[in-house]
Structure 1
Amino acid sequence: MDARLVPPALAAWTGALVALGLGWGPGVLLAALALVAAAFGGRRLLAARRTAVSAGPTGSAGSTGSAAQAPRWAAGLLASGICAAAVGGLASTAAHQVAGHPLRAAASAGSAATLEIVLTDDPAPLRNTGPSGGARVVVRAELVAAQAAGARWRGDGHVVLLAPAEGWAGLLPGQRATASGTLGSSTRSDLTVAVLRTRGPPRDVGPPPGLQFAAGDLRAGLRDASRTVLADEPGALLPGLVVGDTSGIGADLDRDFRTAGLTHLLAVSGSNVAFVLGAVLLLARLGRLGPRTAAVLAVLALVGFVVLARPSPSVLRAGAMGAVAILALALGRKRSVLPALAATVIVLLLVDPALAVDAGFALSVLATGALVLLAPVVVTALRRRRVPPGIAEALAIPLAAHVVTAPVIAGLSGEVSLVAVLANLLAAPAVAPATVLGVLAAVLAPWWTTGAHAAVWLAGPEMSWLVWVAHRCAAVPGATLHWPGGLTGGLLLAGLVLLALVALRWRRVRLVALAVAVGLLLVLVPTRVAPVGWPPADWAMVMCDVGQGDGIVLATGEPGRAVLLDAGPDGSAIDGCLSRLGVRSFALVVLSHLHADHVDGLAGALRGRPAAAIALGPVHEPLGALAQVTGRARAAGSAIVGLDPGVTLRWPGLALDVLGPLHPHTHVDADDGTEVNDTSVVLRATTPLGRVLLPGDAEAESQQALLASGADLRADVLKVPHHGSRSSLPAFVTAAHARLALVSVGQGNSYGHPNPAMMGLLAGTGALVRRTDQSGDLALVPGAGGGSAVVARGDPRPDPRRR
């Protein structure tokens, strides 16, 4: 491989990183040093050439060899210095302009502002917006004019808007709009001038450019065809896989794709382009077309795909990376792959230096490099060990991609997926045909609906397979390993990966590694997937560790049948807990209230488990969450029923008394978390092991009403309200006189739950306090001397909102 352009590409990247990460001053200094290095390299190169010319044909072999060797490193130093100086200089200039932008001071002061903008990318769904839900989007735009802090000016600069989905989600890149809100400083080093938080719809919206309108029409056709032909999750996934349209993908599926290491499938990447161009080149070869005709068709397909996926910066980047990989390989010029990739990196950084700190850019470069450099090496090594060609290639591609991208993903998410290689291996056969069929459906949709539906129908099995792989792999206990985040964590994992690759070159090291891997498979994996003694015998209640949320399972006395109280924020978490407990159906699912951390996991809970009914309290806000719940219920064939205070429900081994809410507000502000929390259904469960008080997220007002009513709140076990927050009344918490207090809370959550004062109050009552963030799943079981005891499964989950 010709690696001469690799050092200049790395130097250019380093120059941009220094300028953007450390500031324009260090960037200018590095650019100056790079120019000095370039001048030195150029001078040494010129001197070496003069020496070689003066030596002529009569020169000694030693002097000629020395003269020939000098230009090799000198040319590299010259090219690297020029690239570092050019990109670093551009990045430093841009960073200096951002630092002095008049909007920066207003953003630091948190001023109100009105911005006139032009969108540069599609509004992207904002995941994990908080327990109250409320769909919001991230809007990236270019500033046209601004009014803030009593001043008005015109100018440019990158801005980011956090806006409600309503009114913003349908906008297209290139459209002008006006927004008002509160400014905030950007925490990213990507040349973003400011962040605007707005709560209203856009004003003065202009028409989209013709190209973007055409792309929007094609994407809408694909979206409609997918929703018409396929089930909810496969239908939402197909547009995401083909053109990066993730607007229909729910938080549950999104989290499972992240956990399984399949996130790259939900964004337009070089692989999308490679699949499309590969299909075109294959058809050209089957039609015996010449290389030039095939190249023209490939270029047309590339342009068409960029139009379909929208020519935003991310799509253009993916197009460049995908074109480098597939065209170089298809034309049989493998030596040109590495220099073409390095040249693409340099050109893209010159056009947009902010790409240097863009995770998508790094993943695109690494994945493309792995595809054309590392994967063939792995295939050769496997073939040498008599692995069949098809299996070797199937193993090599996901393995190579995961190895090189894992450090970046670990730095971003603070975790390493232990199932990513397996998940990508299982998913790989479905991705290429589904991508090609999806593109075909999008092209056909505006003119031939039946043909588009047929293409989507053919892609249906592949989509269902990908959804199944994501859910199953994400449900594996211990699917992710917690890892230091940020640059430190990424560099640490990169160093370990590099060390491992070097060490595996020795046969003895490979044998030791194989023995360790087998030992882990035989010992650690079984104990993490199915820990010894779990589930415990005769459990009456299990508080599932679902992260920052609630998910409680109550045994009904009927084998495989239970009552579920809330489903948490993560479908894979509640699904895994229920699978471990052997729950196959629900006598009832109770959703205490409609906050995301209690209802977003409902799809995972209902996955393969019929529910007789889904019960809600008297207040049905937020309306968006209600629509989500009713849709899930309809898909599962479950009825929606209401629960009112005074109702008692009975099963052979369980009784549920509905205690509250006693005085719910008729009209609730869906954005007011406290008001919605006070609509929580409050239950008292009577089990063979005693009483359990289950107050959901009820806060002070609801708790005071229950205390004033004289309701019998005594219980052996208390589910601590609202994840142990400080919003509970001490009188309510102590009224239970509970011996056990269980807290459902996410490890490392951003809300400060549980509150130390609340934990101190509970400890002062003599109750044994156990928390899911410290102990994982908690099961209520018979005590050694009678009564009840609590058994912990371990392996606590982090708060999903930290991802």
Structure 2
Amino acid sequence: MRTDLRMLLLGGAAWAGALGGRWLGWWALLAVVGVVAVRWSRAAGAAALVLAATAGVAVIRAEQVAGSPVAGLATDGATVRLTGVVTSDPRRTAGRYDEVVVTRLDVRRVTGRGASYAVRAPVLVLGDTDWSDVPLGSTVETTGQLSPADDADLAAVLGARGPPTVTGDPDPWWDAAAAVRASIREAVAGRPDAQRALVPALVDGDDAGVSSALADDFRTTGLTHLLAVSGTNLTLVVGFLLLVARWCGVRGRWLYAVGAAGIVGFVLLARTEPSVLRAAVMGTVALFAMGTDGRRRGARTLGVAVLALLLVQPGLAGSPGFALSVLATGGILLLAPGWRDALARWLPRWVAEAVAIPAAAQLACTPVVAALSGQVSLVAVAANLAAAPAVGPATVLGLAGGLAGLVWDPLGRLLGTGAGWCVSWLVVVATRGAALPTAAAGWGTGAAALALLTVLVVAVVLAGPVLLRRPSTGLACCALLVLAVLVRVPTPGWPPAGWVLVACDVGQGDALVLNAGPHAAVVVDAGPDPGLVDACLDDLGIETVPLLVLTHFHADHVDGISGVLDGRAVGAVETTRLLDPPQGVAEVDAVTDPVPAPYGTVQRVGGVTLQALWPPPDSPTVGPGDGSTANEASVVLLAEVRGVRLLLTGDVEPEGQAVLARTYPRLTVDVLKVPHHGSRYQDEDWLLSLGARIAVTSVGADNDYGHPAPETLEPLAAAGMDVYRTDRDGAVAVVEDGGGLSVATH
């Protein structure tokens, strides 16, 4: 049966209109009107009208946000008093000095610059920990300074001052949803850390407890959708409710009522944020696709869903989550049936369907995933296939445990234990899959690289059914993929001959490797991800690490320590004197026995000479727990390899840099590791006085901290330094080539 693509084409026109209205403004709308005026046909006219409608909605919405009094006050940097409704759960994140709580407000009244305004404007709030316990749906009053927002869907960003004043309680349905969410967390409170974090994430998108290392493993294996609210969640929850309703004798139109109630309840439980509404709509499309004549009805419903969503929330057009949801759903509806039928010629139909669905969804999303992460997962299909049997039971048992816990706590904990057992399998799949030699292949995020990847995806889409319909070619394709995953392909020319330092590309963190001899290295910091630092050391052929130095205990410097230890002989481990933060200290102590780096002592480790210049021997060993103090206590190392002098600065702050400038006034080096990932807070005079020829910044792409700051890197480049950064250049190798210095990137 042919698939009716007309509604999908209208959905595509709506998407184009929303993007055009968002990026081009009124010009996009005028262009569409011109096209309709010049050429009118039934199909072209319908598409043009849809495009014009969504473009118009996008333009009007953008004008409303940008033209609100809140946006005007933000442009002036005004200090204001706001009254608004909390529209998202408060979320803790790392700030410069301490944790910051991020939430959203729908502002109803703003007072600033001597005037008050009644408004409806979305604002992002950055507050202190007093905001952590403010319930969703509460009406609050607060004061703070407004600043312009980067997001076109936000009128401003508010730097809140002090705690908010709650002037109105949430509506009853928000209280009920909060009670269920709390009960889900309580049902798994006695389980191991990973299970305790994953069950709420799987059921209602509450991923606050998921560690960064585990999240990275899920990302590498293509299982990230399990950590966020997705259409799969809704399909499982509502499908379970419909099944129970049928068991109870519900039939006919009453089943639609049960389904609708389930969708509304799911949205309230997972929160009415745009991402949740998008997931709910995509889940509804999946439910239609599961019914009679599902392929044709599903395609129509997907087109209608895209059109409706963009008319209500045109800002979704530029959302990666929206793109991934639509592409995954479209892949399942349009590609999976052909792949399933091809495989079913020589496999049982249920096996063919189990393979075809995740393969089609992953393939459709591949270009967008590569654009976001810079990599293509090679294990995603296998990981999703392995995880699939546990996802449904974990979701249903987790939700049932939360609901049962409201009535009888022991029953809730019993069901929560079952959910925990199920997600433990997901942890095994993610961690073991991410540890495979080539779990993911790096891919560029430039236009040319993504265009090439899109062409390859289209080629696979066209060739897939042909190759998979015969056992010989189908099994050969599978064997080739397995071989690519299990065997790490050597990179020609890497590592370059004569390398003295490699700054590994480990995302937002530090992992530096000093060449200590054949297959040996001094490693300084371990980055945030064990898999990434392990892969970097494997690429360099490092088998022994006679010295590991951890400059300080922040997660982006120590969480990858198991990757350094994996399969290598590691000698001494040296750290800073300041045992803070406690989580990082405990993680390091669990796997090794570190000692403080000896201040001022010159050490020779193989071909590496090291001297710790900071922190001084009288520095504190116990800190107040704020991030700046831990950064300030970073071990600063002066290293020399093959006559090349390198300064490795950790995250030392400007105050410490100033002391170093006074203590070592004539210090000069060849290579500078820029402190604190290129943060804007630097002692610029000191950095320039070092006279380095090469400056390397270890930093993650699209990080939340604004690293590296242009005001830090531009003066270094202006002073004649060659500036490299791992977010753009990948791994950076400094090479000594017969008295000169050069740089190779990977």
Q: TM-score, normalised by structure 1?
A: 0.73
Q: Indicate the residue corresponding to 1:214 in structure 2.
A: 176
Q: Secondary structure at the match of 2:82?
A: strand
Deviation per residue, 1:186-234 (Å, 9 max, x gap)? 33344x322334464433453222211221222122224434212x334
% identical aligned pairs: 38
Partners of 1:32 and 1:791 lie apart in 2 by 56
CA positional deviation for 1:145: 1.1
| Change in CA separation of 1:473 and 1:680 when aligned onto 2, cut-off 3 Å | same
Q: Indicate the residue corresponding to 1:49 in structure 2.
A: none
Q: Indicate the residue corresponding to 1:357 in structure 2.
A: 318
CA positional deviation for 1:549: 3.5
Q: Indicate the residue corresponding to 1:58 in structure 2.
A: none
Q: Indicate the residue corresponding to 1:750 in structure 2.
A: 708
CA positional deviation for 1:649: 9.3
Q: Indicate the residue corresponding to 2:212 in structure 1.
A: 251
Determine which of 568, 571, 576 is the counterpart of 1:617: 576
| Matching of residue 627 in structure 1 with residue 579 in structure 2 | no
8 Å CA contact 2:657–2:683 kept in 1: the answer is no
Partners of 1:530 and 1:438 lie apart in 2 by 44
| Matching of residue 435 in structure 1 with residue 395 in structure 2 | yes
Determine which of 283, 297, 301 is the counterpart of 1:336: 297
| Matching of residue 98 in structure 1 with residue 65 in structure 2 | yes
| Change in CA separation of 1:311 and 1:187 when aligned onto 2, cut-off 3 Å | closer
| Change in CA separation of 1:526 and 1:436 when aligned onto 2, cut-off 3 Å | closer
Determine which of 384, 389, 396 is the counterpart of 2:356: 396
Deviation per residue, 1:304-341 (Å, 9 max, x gap)? 43333234443333223212322441456543222233
Which stretch shows the higher mean deviation, 651-660 or 234-243? Answer: 651-660
8 Å CA contact 1:569–1:601 kept in 2: the answer is yes
Partners of 2:433 and 2:742 lie apart in 1 by 26
- 1:19-30 matches, within 5 Å, as 19-24=21-26, 26-27=28-29, 30=32
| Change in CA separation of 1:5 and 1:718 when aligned onto 2, cut-off 3 Å | closer
Q: Indicate the residue corresponding to 1:660 in structure 2.
A: 614
- 1:724-739 matches, within 5 Å, as 727=684, 729=686, 733=690
8 Å CA contact 1:24–1:93 kept in 2: the answer is no
Which stretch shows the higher mean deviation, 366-375 or 596-605? Answer: 596-605
Say how many residue pairs are matched. Answer: 730
Determine which of 571, 574, 592 is the counterpart of 2:551: 592
Determine which of 532, 554, 557 is the counterpart of 1:573: 532
Which stretch shows the higher mean deviation, 542-551 or 702-711? Answer: 702-711
The one-letter amino acid paired with 2:614 is: G
Partners of 1:235 and 1:146 lie apart in 2 by 40
CA positional deviation for 1:245: 1.0
| Matching of residue 680 in structure 1 with residue 634 in structure 2 | yes
Partners of 2:584 and 2:426 lie apart in 1 by 24
8 Å CA contact 1:473–1:479 kept in 2: the answer is no
Partners of 2:502 and 2:314 lie apart in 1 by 52
Q: Indicate the residue corresponding to 1:63 in structure 2.
A: none
8 Å CA contact 2:230–2:276 kept in 1: the answer is yes
Q: Indicate the residue corresponding to 1:45 in structure 2.
A: none
Determine which of 275, 283, 288 is the counterpart of 1:322: 283
Q: Indicate the residue corresponding to 1:406 in structure 2.
A: 366
Q: Indicate the residue corresponding to 1:142 in structure 2.
A: 106
| Matching of residue 346 in structure 1 with residue 304 in structure 2 | no
Partners of 1:566 and 1:263 lie apart in 2 by 27
| Matching of residue 122 in structure 1 with residue 83 in structure 2 | no
Let me know the Cα RMSD of the aligned residues: 5.3
The one-letter amino acid paired with 1:309 is: A
Where do 5+ consecutive residues of structure 2 fail to align? 702-706
The one-letter amino acid paired with 1:632 is: E
CA positional deviation for 1:156: 0.8
Q: Secondary structure at the match of 1:466?
A: helix
Deviation per residue, 1:109-168 (Å, 9 max, x gap)? 333333322122333555xx67x474335423322111234432111122223444x233
| Change in CA separation of 1:98 and 1:286 when aligned onto 2, cut-off 3 Å | closer
- 1:175-186 matches, within 5 Å, as 175-186=138-149
Partners of 2:313 and 2:737 lie apart in 1 by 67
8 Å CA contact 1:137–1:162 kept in 2: the answer is yes
| Change in CA separation of 1:32 and 1:225 when aligned onto 2, cut-off 3 Å | farther
The one-letter amino acid paired with 1:337 is: G
The one-letter amino acid paired with 1:252 is: A
- 1:219-258 matches, within 5 Å, as 219-230=181-192, 232-258=193-219
8 Å CA contact 1:15–1:31 kept in 2: the answer is no
Q: TM-score, normalised by structure 2?
A: 0.78
Partners of 1:741 and 1:29 lie apart in 2 by 49
The one-letter amino acid paired with 2:302 is: L
Q: Indicate the residue corresponding to 1:268 in structure 2.
A: 229
Partners of 1:203 and 1:144 lie apart in 2 by 15
The one-letter amino acid paired with 2:179 is: D
Partners of 1:329 and 1:430 lie apart in 2 by 20
The one-letter amino acid paired with 2:583 is: Q
Q: Indicate the residue corresponding to 1:155 in structure 2.
A: 119
8 Å CA contact 1:699–1:728 kept in 2: the answer is no
- 1:44-63 matches, within 5 Å, as none
8 Å CA contact 2:688–2:719 kept in 1: the answer is no
Partners of 2:557 and 2:106 lie apart in 1 by 37
Partners of 1:731 and 1:485 lie apart in 2 by 32
Partners of 1:17 and 1:694 lie apart in 2 by 45
Q: Secondary structure at the match of 2:344?
A: helix
CA positional deviation for 1:581: 7.4
The one-letter amino acid paired with 2:233 is: N
Q: Indicate the residue corresponding to 1:14 in structure 2.
A: 16
CA positional deviation for 1:602: 4.8
8 Å CA contact 2:186–2:413 kept in 1: the answer is no
Deviation per residue, 1:455-489 (Å, 9 max, x gap)? 33333344344334444555555824434468x98
8 Å CA contact 1:2–1:339 kept in 2: the answer is yes
Partners of 1:718 and 1:346 lie apart in 2 by 54
Q: Secondary structure at the match of 1:140?
A: strand
User: Which structure has the larger Rg over C-alpha atoms?
Assistant: 1
| Change in CA separation of 1:172 and 1:374 when aligned onto 2, cut-off 3 Å | farther
Determine which of 405, 409, 426 is the counterpart of 1:466: 426
| Change in CA separation of 1:441 and 1:530 when aligned onto 2, cut-off 3 Å | farther
The one-letter amino acid paired with 1:14 is: A
